[in-house]
Amino acid sequence: MTPQTTKSTYWQGVRAGAPFILVLVPFALLFGVVATEAGFTVIETFAYSALVVAGAAQFTAVQLLSEHAPTLIIIATALAVNLRMAMYSASLTPHLGRAPLGKRALVAYLMVDQAYASAILEYERHPEWTVPQKLAFYFGAVTPLFPLWLTFTVVGAMVGNAIPPEFALDFAVPITFLAMIAPMLRTGAHVVAALVSITVSLALAFVPYSMGLLVAGAAGMIAGAQVELWMVRRGAVT
């Protein structure tokens, strides 16, 4: 096999990222629509997509802002949704840890679920790739995604106000979240974490300012981790 160049790994990345356009465009549109429904201007909506770059955390922040939760609680909760990014960061470190600092910062800024998932899969398949080849693949994977994420957020924000209430857009956020959660329920531990989270959240719904959600999140994480340990001990998971 001929050795691969950084140019060829870049285009491999583009091809790996491209199918996710189908998921990302409607998701970006929806964020634009939901944020303007909550009272965001087009500029504010764009700024969220450009600076936070994380759909689930952005939806969480908009939802809690419209519930008038205190800003610190909103930031803490939305960051908890984004904690998985720390995991991605940790798992990319053995591959990209020796890249120049500026490039690592750019990788961090552009880190989204789809880019991470495509990259880690290929890195494990191609241990012979050099750091520049790995970087090229990563930047290739985000090339079709990031510009469209920004563009369609703005499109959604501009058409958002034109959508009448009969369309029940209030329920776009729960449907989007549920659609994201279901494919994540890969093991029994994930299911238990989700069920504990739901139970605690509903039981603590009377607690003001969505603080019950932070407790529910912590309880769910502990439950998931404990079930995983128990499954490992039983030999159900390797």
User: Footprint of other proteins on residues 19-78 (CB under 8 A)?
Assistant: 22-23, 26-27, 38-40, 44, 47-48, 51-54, 56-57, 60-61, 63, 65-66, 68, 71-72, 74-75, 77-78
Cβ proximity to other proteins: between 222 and 236 the closer is 222
Among 131, 194, 207, 237, binds other proteins (CB under 8 A): 194
Interacting positions 117-156 with other proteins (CB under 8 A)? none
Read off the DSSP letter of residue 111.
-
Least CB distance from residue 173 to other proteins, whole Å? Answer: 7
Rule CB under 8 A: choose which of 11, 177, 209, 230 binds other proteins.
177
Please, which residue, 38 or 155, has the CB nearer to other proteins? 38
| CB 3, min distance to other proteins, A | 25
Site of tokens 């034109």: 162
SS3 of 119-165: the string is: HHHHHHHCCCCCHHHHHHHHHHHHCCCHHHHHHHHHHHHHHHCCCCH
> How big, in percent rounded to 5, are the helix, strand and coil portions of the chain?
80, 0, 20
**How deeply is 98 buried, as exposed, middle or buried, from its count of CB atoms within 10 A (0-12, 13-18, 19+)?**
exposed
DSSP 110: T
Shortest distance (Å) from residue 149 CB to other proteins: 14
List 18, 104, 126, 151, residue binding other proteins (CB under 8 A)? 104
Among 127, 171, 233, 238, binds other proteins (CB under 8 A): 171
Which of 105, 121, 159, 236 binds other proteins (CB under 8 A)? It is 105
Q: What does the alpha-carbon distance between residue 162 and residue 183 come to, in Å, rounded to a whole number?
A: 32
Least separation in angstroms between residue 1's CB and other proteins is: 28
Shortest CB 221 distance to other proteins, Å = 4
User: Which is nearer to other proteins, 26 or 147 (by Cβ)?
Assistant: 26
Nearest to 29 by CA among 142, 120, 162, 225: 162
Q: Pattern 209-238, binding to other proteins, x per CB under 8 A?
A: ---xx--xxxxxxxxxx--xx---------
Nearest approach, Cβ of residue 187 and other proteins (Å): 10
Report which of 41, 79, 44, 33 is spatially closest to residue 60, judged by C-alpha positions.
79
Closest CA to 213 of 69, 87, 34, 83: 69
**Spatial distance between the Cα atoms of 34 and 232, rounded to a whole number of angstroms:** 41
